[in-house]
Amino acid sequence: MSESIPKLTTIHSGVPARLSNEALAAKERTYSLRTLPTSVPRQSELRLPPDVTRDVFDKAIDELRKVLGKAGVELNDKPLVDGWYMEHPNTHDAYHIVDQEEMVCSAIVYPSSTTEVQSIVRWANEFKIPIYPVSMGRNLGYGGASPRVPGSVVIDLGRKMNQVLKIDGENASCMVEPGVSYFKLYDEIQKAGFKLWIDTPDLGGGSVLGNAIDRGVGYTPYGDHFANHCGMEIVLPDGSLLRTGMGALPGKDGTDNPTWESFQHAYGPVIDGIFSQSNFGIVTKMGFWLMPETGHQSYMITFPREDDFEQIVEIIRPLAQKRILGNIPQLRHAIQELAVTGKPRTTWYNGPGHFPRDVIREGVKQLPVGDISWVFYGTQYGDTASISSQLALIKSAFAAIRGSKFLLPSDLPPDHYIHSRVQVCSGVPVLRELDWLNWKPNAAHLFFSPIVPTRGSSARVIHDIITRLHAKYDFDVFPTLCVAGREMHYIANIVYDRSSEDEKRRARELMRELIDEAAKEGFGEYRTHLLFADQVAGTYNWGDGALRRFNEAIKDALDPNGILAPGRNGIWPKGYRGKGWELVGEKAKGCAKARM
Ligand code: EUG
């Protein structure tokens, strides 16, 4: 099987050489727990775009082949293969929460330049065919590569547009194309010998550009990916090209502006934000700041009682606001200490229903962390003296919690998860987080990701909602909280078995109820799976839907034909509105089967 691990040296989405053994092990474990066949015959034929006949579609595809070449256009008419994280599909959502065949594209196209992206956009306008750009399609847990409107043509930008265009050692910045993964950017920086860090999320296979425009999060001081971008190039829905920030001002003698990757705001309205989590343009280049290498020390603090939760959050708030904490730390529940061992759930529990608290307790007692309820993973940065003064403050603040323990990586065995945290928190992209996926056979995951005030009482409210509803729908609760000084991203990772229609239905119902219950408390999601986008967008309805109307005005102005990613992030072009496309329950238009 090892030769079947895609390598970064042969494909942009591949595994770096340093991780090939780990990747092989991850693949073998995932497949050993799989009961689903690799693929099943398609139930229905090629899924056409809405209101497009096969004849018109074929003619349109012929036209596109003239521009992109035969190999640049691929019909989605073969059996669907879910693959695994490093060999993910661009034909559908590998982590399908509806029928595997429900959210499929009609074709995938592979532009090799911005000019070709512009041609594709003009083609879409001519034939009124919806297009759906993905950078790499690894937005797993949020919809993967699947389009919101079935039958759309997916533009796989990354396959051929995957260059690190620039690394500037002095300015500590870079400019990348959509197909550059964290793995690739890291390798290129090492190869070139720059003493610069990247900022990576928990898994390193995603697109740097794609994650940032979905406003993803990482764990060095540069962890807010969108906040640390600088400069964009965008293909607009009419096929024209735009540069934001200082990039709008041409450099000397036709060069790029010398401060394109240096100053975000430039002059006039800051428009970069409207190209994140939207369907207003296709980002083909994006600049990022890189952090100069520095000293770092990761640590964990464990807490014995479930009820320590509120106090932990109260202690984090001032430490984060004063920037004593070095990064966005993660607070995890003890059950994650079991999950990140990579062992299946049945190692500890074979009974019915969700994982009982006393079984978590018995499980963690056997681990080096012992009988705990919560774990805080933090990292401090700088020289030895400043790290030790920061740590003194942090230790004394958390010492207020009886029975809390402070541990360094050197206090834990070499196979403990903390060593993976050390890498992530110093900008080294990894694969370790995949171990969660051995929890169940055929496992897939879905994230519920509300924003909640960094306040003990609010933390309790959201945690109780999440715990109660997970119990109602029979799912184990995996809380990971990324806690900042004023708000926290509470990420509840719903792990479900893709072979079970019943689990998928329960996962959907759980999500829908979570979104509604959280919204009643004023908590909204920072990001969501594309099938919940309408519902989440609908909760941001202050002023009788003022934000939705504003987004629609922009959408209609920029994309009058409604060809670009209709429905993404709950923004529908005028041609789709009020026709039943919005999905807030189990049914919506455009779906082959009644049940979504
Ligand atoms: C995680 C964090 C996220 C997210 C999805 C997953 C972490 C998983 C902070 O954002 O959106 C361990």
438-452 tens-digit pLDDT = 999 999 999 999 999
Residue showing tokens 């050489």 = 17
pLDDT digits (tens, 9 = 90+) for 177-186: 999 999 999 9
User: What's the gap in Å between 491 CA and the centre of ligand 1?
Assistant: 6
CA distance 304 to 339: 18
Q: Please give the C-alpha separations between residue 390 and each of 323, 362, 387, 578, in angstroms, as whole numbers.
A: 10, 34, 5, 55
**pLDDT band for position 39 (50/70/90)?**
confident
Strand partners, 234: 242, 283
Q: Specify the pLDDT at position 596.
A: 42
Which residues face 233 on adjacent strands?
A: 243, 285
**In the structure, what pLDDT confidence band is assigned to residue 351 with cuts at 50, 70 and 90?**
confident
Catalytic residue list contains 29: no
Summarised one tens digit per residue, pLDDT across range 68-105 is 999 999 999 999 999 999 999 999 999 999 999 999 99
Q: Which of 351-365, 389-403, 551-565 has the lowest mean pLDDT?
A: 351-365
Decide: 532 and 512 in contact? Cβ < 8 Å.
yes
Cβ–ligand 1 contact at 527 (below 6 Å): yes
How far is residue 85 from each of residues 37, 76, 89, 318, measured CA to CA in Å?
A: 17, 20, 9, 38
Does the pLDDT value for residue 595 go beyond 70?
no
Q: At what angle do helices 456-472 and 309-321 cross, to 10 degrees?
A: 130
For residue 266, give the 3-state DSSP assignment: coil
Which pairing describes strands 107-109 and 153-156: parallel, antiparallel, or unpaired? parallel
Q: What is the mean pLDDT of residues 495-503?
A: 95
What per-residue confidence (pLDDT) applies to 3? 62
Question: Where along the chain do its domains lie?
Answer: 1-32, 33-156, 164-292, 296-529
Active site residue 527: yes
Hey, do 164-292 and 296-529 end up sharing a CATH topology, with the first three levels equal?
no
Domain range 33-156, CATH class: alpha beta
Tally Cβ neighbours within 10 Å of residue 585: 12
Residue 593 is predicted with a pLDDT of: 46
Measured between alpha carbons, how far is 476 from 444 in angstroms, rounded to an integer?
Answer: 13
User: Average pLDDT, whole number, for the chain?
Assistant: 95
Candidate list 421, 527, 548, 568, residue with the active-site label:
527
What confidence tens digit (pLDDT) does each residue in 231-283 have?
999 999 999 999 999 999 999 999 999 999 999 999 999 999 999 999 999 99
Q: Is 566 exposed, middle or buried (0-12, 13-18, 19+ CB in 10 A)?
A: buried
Cα 558 to middle of ligand 1, angstroms? 31
Is the pLDDT assigned to residue 45 strictly greater than 90?
Answer: no
Rounded to whole angstroms, the Cα distance separating 220 from 225 reads 10
Q: Which atom of ligand 1 is nearest to the CA of 526?
A: 11
Helices 54-68 and 114-127, axial angle in degrees (round to 10): 160
List the catalytic residue out of 85, 110, 132, 142: 142
Rounded CA-CA distance 167/192 in Å is 9
pLDDT in tens, 324-346: 999 999 999 999 999 999 999 99
Does the beta carbon of 435 lie inside 6 Å of ligand 1? Answer: no
* Selection from 52, 64, 277, 279 nearest residue 151 by Cα: 52
Identify the residue whose tokens are 């829905």. Answer: 237
Query: Which pLDDT band holds residue 592 (cuts at 50, 70, 90)?
Result: very low
Task: Provide the CATH topology of domain 164-292.
Answer: 3.30.465
CATH match of 296-529 with 3.40.462.10: yes
Q: Ligand 1: which atom is nearest the Cα of residue 433?
A: 12
The one catalytic residue among 526, 548, 568, 576: 526
Report residue 74 as tokens: 């691929």
Query: The whole model's pTM is what?
Result: 0.96
d(CA 509, CA 243): 41
| Contact by Cβ (8 Å): 76, 46 | yes
CB-based burial label for 242 (10 Å; 0-12, 13-18, 19+):
middle
468 is catalytic: no
The percentage of residues in the chain with a pLDDT greater than 90, rounded to a whole number, is: 94
589: tokens are: 């238009």
Cα–Cα distance between 507 and 518 in angstroms, integer? 16
Is the pLDDT reported for residue 586 higher than 80? Answer: no
| Tokens 């559908």 -> residue | 92
How far is the C-alpha of 410 from the C-alpha of 425, rounded, in Å?
Answer: 16
